[in-house]
Amino acid sequence: MPHKPKKECCDHGGKRSGCGRKPGVKTQPIRLPAWLLEQLSEIGDPRQLIIDACLVQHPSICNKGFQRDD
C-alpha cells in the first residue's frame, strides 16, 4: 500500500492550510533545553511564559514590528 502524505501540511514552502499557521505571523525556531521546557510546562504555556519574560526584561520591544494586514 503506497504512502500518501498530506499535501496541505507536508508541502515544503508556499501556503500550508490546516497547519495552524497564522498569516502574517513570522516565527523562527529556537532550541531550548528540555529541562527548561518541562519546568515551564508545569507553570503554564512555555511559549507565552517566554514571551512574557522577554517583554518584562525588554519592554521597548513590545509589539515592535507588529503590522496588521487587514
Could you give the residue ranges of the DSSP H alpha helices within 1-70?
7-10, 34-43, 46-57
* pLDDT, averaged across the chain: 75
pTM of the model: 0.52
CA atoms of 37 and 67, how far apart (whole Å): 29
Judge whether 40 and 34 are in contact, CB under 8 Å: no
pLDDT, tens only, 9-27: 554 555 556 566 667 777 8
% pLDDT > 70, the chain: 57
40: cell is 515551564
Judge whether 23 and 69 are in contact, CB under 8 Å: yes
